Structure 1
Amino acid sequence: MSRKKIQIILVLASLSLVALLGTQGVWLSKAYSAQERAFNHSVQVALTNVADQLLTQNGQSPATAKPIQQLASNYFIAELNAPIDPAQAAELLQQQLAQRQLKEPYEFGLYNGLDDTLMFGRFVPATRQMAAAQEESPVIKHEKEGSAPMYNLAVVFPTKTSFILKEMEFWWYSSGALLVVVLFFAYTMVQILREKRLAELKTDFINNLTHELQTPITNIGLASEVLRKRAETLPAERLTRYHELIYSENERLRAQVERVLQMATMESRELVLKKETVDLHALLQQTSDNLAPRLQQRVGHLRLDLQATQPLVHADSLHVANALYSLLDNAEKYSPQAPDIEVSTRDVEQGVLISIKDRGVGIKKEFQKFLFDKFYRVPTGNVHDVKGFGLGLSYVKAIMDAHHGQVTVESAEQEGTCFRLVLPI
């Protein structure tokens, strides 16, 4: 499947999920509003019945009562302007709320109808045991001389919101299921894109491998053919040159195959480290000497600034040397002008810090996060001046992880690159 088709599918699926989540959000809002309206209606009916009964018991007509007012989301008031017995009001209120399955705790009070002074108040817990409530929370009475005993009844539900949310239990389950579907979809799409990218990288790797192997095989074949047909007539100088060509190309081919096999071994988790005490300074000197002939051909320079006071580490010298050479090799290959490479060491808290810095082409910020991925090579358009499989840096990362170390990169386009390795002592 092409990248364009995957992008179209991803966009359409994302839009569908956004629409689905939006619809679920709208339904949640509507469900909450419906539950709140039902709660408010039940409270208003209960308070209306309480008000009618209190007025009737006081010899007044219920028709004189004003409608129940909702002054806030959880605050209701019945304007009675009549003398009320607090115990009677508490009992009626409890009965009416219980009949409508409103089992949440509430606070009620009687206010002076003239100046809204609180005259009586009580908190009623959710247990609804009236006798216990009266014993634990006796009626509090505040009398005010000279005021007429004309009261209004007010009720507050402090846990109204949590009650409504609890009543929406089905909606929360459905929303949770939808969220699981969304997360699963997101994970699936990430995996698809990752596999697609890995497939592209492997395709590039196979193409690079084909070209990289084809060149030494072709050179070996040509030199062997010449030696097979004309070995007796060739001068000694040309014979030596063909022999050296076969040897060097064979070594090149062996090194390429070895690198691929190393990565295959690490991928199958069969990498076995033969750790020993290794002098990093000596190892850096050795790998630098191996790179010296190529630097001389390009009039390049490599400086060693080895300041670490404790260069001895417990590591696999072969793999560490290969990792260091891979970084030095990149520093040389990606320097279009005469290579200028600086290798330094110093002590850090975690162990020994090795820095390999060049002044080459550098790497754009957007590509740096992929550098240590297997088969990844920084895009260069249609120009492929530098050969490789995209395995070098992933090998370096794998070796550092195996030694419980770390590798980081700092680079800017056309300003060079600096790789930093930290190996524990």
Structure 2
Amino acid sequence: MRSSTLRWIILLATFLIALIVGVQLFWLHIVYSYEQKTFNTNVVKSIRGLYEDMDIADTPSNHLQDLVEDPSPDYFLFRVKGKGFSNDSLVHYLKHELNDFDVLTDAHVGFYDARQGKYMAEQYIPAAAARYDPTQKVLAVYKRPHDYVVLYFPHRNKYVLAQMNFWFISTGILFIVLIGLAVILFYFYRQKFLAEVQKDFVNNFTHEFKTPLAVMKISAEVLLQEKIVNQPDKLFKYAHIIQHQTEHLQSQVERLLHIASTDRRELPIEKVKVPVREIIEQAVAKVQPLVEDKEALVEIQDPSMPGYELLADRVHLELAVVNLLENALKYSTKPHVIISAGRENGHLFISVKDNGIGIEKKYQKNLFKKFYRVPTGDVHNVKGFGLGLNFVKRIIEAHHGSIKVNSLPGIGTEFKMLFPL
């Protein structure tokens, strides 16, 4: 399973997790609404029981909705006749009715006199396990043309939420499980990606060393022939081939070791004033054998370049330019490389532009990752480990600079290194 397929699986799993979370939150909202309605129903039932226990109604109406109203979520008003009952008796029966219908939260009771337009008395009904201070509550006054008793539940929401403890606990467990699943999926994807990177590196490593070793083996077999001593030109030719392949393998091994040695620490940068044109010319000189082999054209542009100087590490900066030149030459059939330098937005830039195969947009963001190479199927006609651009980026970042890439498939690629002046 490739990482692209796994990525789609993870996206689908993420969508399903989000869907489950959404459904669970919606279900919690439904349960919360149900508990609120249940609370209202139980309070109304308690008031109806109070009417049955005591003769307090000011009208013979049998419709409870005509006697009870709830002007706000925490308040309930029910009509009573002005005289003929004791406040203490009403509170006593009301407390029992509330307990019978499982309204187990504290409440304030107020007795409203329509003629006075205010509460004539107030009492507090504590909950069984509550410890609240009733003196901190002030009852809202609702102007009505009749006497009524008000019930105010200051901790209604806390009580309703407490009734949902099971749902909260189950939701919390579900969220923990989903988070754990998400972490496992992410870790699995990361391990899968690293495994693919390692596999690609092994493939690149194999193809990088297989051809030189095969050439050296054939050359050694030729040199072991007895008649080779009588053919000095042939002897020199195959000895030179072995030397060239040995140097190539040695340089690749040294590059790997250098990358490994600098993997966990900063690059040893020693900055001095460096003429930019001199760095470019030395880099071109180092890739001259490759230039001749590819019959390439390398141009150094910008006549004002001799005046450019940069505070940088000469060795590492030159190595960065060499890496970009090698890529420009390797990925072009008839290479035409243009190197230029200049100033841009307060930075000094060095540009390496080629007419190679180009890089698709979707691959450009991964170019500077270690061991990454643009996919080419089973074709390995270009050698390398996918370390060069990663090392170039590290060199530039050590100089507090940046690198940009602009590429069009079939037209060419430009790498632009920018350094602060």
TM-score, length of structure 2 as denominator length: 0.74
CA distance in 2, matches of 1:17, 1:284: 54
CA distance in 1, matches of 2:42, 2:275: 81
Residue 207 of structure 1 and its aligned partner are, at CA, apart by 2.2
Asked whether the 8 Å contact 1:65–1:80 carries over to 2, the reply is no
Residue of structure 2 aligned with 1:378, choices 371, 374, 386: 374
Q: Which amino acid aligns with 2:79?
A: L
Give the structure 1 partner of residue 274 of structure 2: 279
Residue 276 of structure 1 and its aligned partner are, at CA, apart by 3.4
CA distance in 2, matches of 1:78, 1:220: 101
Say if 2:245 is the partner of 1:254. no
Structure 1 segment 144-159 matched on structure 2, within 5 A: 149-151=145-147
The 1:127–1:251 alpha-carbon spacing in structure 2 relative to 1, beyond 3 Å, is: same
Q: Deviations over 1:357-406 (max 9, x none)?
A: 33432222221222222222111234433222222122223333444443
CA distance in 1, matches of 2:319, 2:287: 12
Asked whether the 8 Å contact 1:74–1:156 carries over to 2, the reply is no
CA distance in 1, matches of 2:139, 2:174: 49
CA distance in 2, matches of 1:390, 1:206: 11
CA distance in 2, matches of 1:218, 1:186: 48
Give the structure 2 partner of residue 219 of structure 1: 215
Say if 2:389 is the partner of 1:393. yes
Residue 60 of structure 1 and its aligned partner are, at CA, apart by 6.0
Residue of structure 2 aligned with 1:321, choices 318, 322, 326: 318
Structure 1 segment 40-119 matched on structure 2, within 5 A: 40-48=40-48, 56-57=55-56, 63=62, 66=65, 74=73, 78=77, 80=79, 82-83=81-82, 92=91, 96=95, 100-103=103-106, 119=117
- Unaligned runs of at least 5 residues, structure 2: 125-129
CA distance in 2, matches of 1:310, 1:123: 89
Asked whether the 8 Å contact 2:404–2:417 carries over to 1, the reply is yes
Mean Cα displacement is larger for which, 334-343 or 159-168? 159-168
Q: Deviations over 1:262-293 (max 9, x none)?
A: 232234x2565152315161323321333345
CA distance in 2, matches of 1:74, 1:228: 101
CA distance in 1, matches of 2:141, 2:281: 91
Say if 2:304 is the partner of 1:301. no
| SS at structure 1 position matched to 2:245 | helix
Asked whether the 8 Å contact 2:80–2:149 carries over to 1, the reply is no
Q: Which amino acid aligns with 1:31?
A: V
CA distance in 2, matches of 1:128, 1:270: 61
Residue 217 of structure 1 and its aligned partner are, at CA, apart by 2.2
Q: Deviations over 1:274-318 (max 9, x none)?
A: 523151613233213333454454342333446697733243x33
CA distance in 1, matches of 2:275, 2:170: 60
The alignment covers a number of residue pairs equal to 405
| SS at structure 2 position matched to 1:232 | helix
Structure 1 segment 192-271 matched on structure 2, within 5 A: 192-229=188-225, 230-235=227-232, 237-267=233-263, 269=264
Say if 2:288 is the partner of 1:288. no
Say if 2:343 is the partner of 1:346. yes
| SS at structure 2 position matched to 1:250 | helix
Q: Which amino acid aligns with 1:80?
A: R
TM-score, length of structure 1 as denominator length: 0.73
Q: Which amino acid aligns with 2:274?
A: D
Asked whether the 8 Å contact 1:51–1:78 carries over to 2, the reply is no
Q: Which amino acid aligns with 1:312?
A: L
Asked whether the 8 Å contact 1:313–1:423 carries over to 2, the reply is no
Residue 329 of structure 1 and its aligned partner are, at CA, apart by 1.5
**Identity score, percent:** 28
Give the structure 2 partner of residue 172 of structure 1: 168
| SS at structure 1 position matched to 2:230 | coil
CA distance in 1, matches of 2:123, 2:358: 73
CA distance in 2, matches of 1:365, 1:139: 67
Mean Cα displacement is larger for which, 69-78 or 194-203? 69-78
Give the structure 1 partner of residue 127 of structure 2: none
Q: Deviations over 1:318-346 (max 9, x none)?
A: 33322221122212222334323333242
Say if 2:359 is the partner of 1:356. no
Q: Which amino acid aligns with 1:74?
A: P
- Unaligned runs of at least 5 residues, structure 1: 143-147
The 1:26–1:259 alpha-carbon spacing in structure 2 relative to 1, beyond 3 Å, is: same
RMSD: 4.7
Q: Which amino acid aligns with 1:311?
A: E
| SS at structure 2 position matched to 1:356 | strand
Mean Cα displacement is larger for which, 273-282 or 244-253? 273-282
| SS at structure 2 position matched to 1:302 | strand
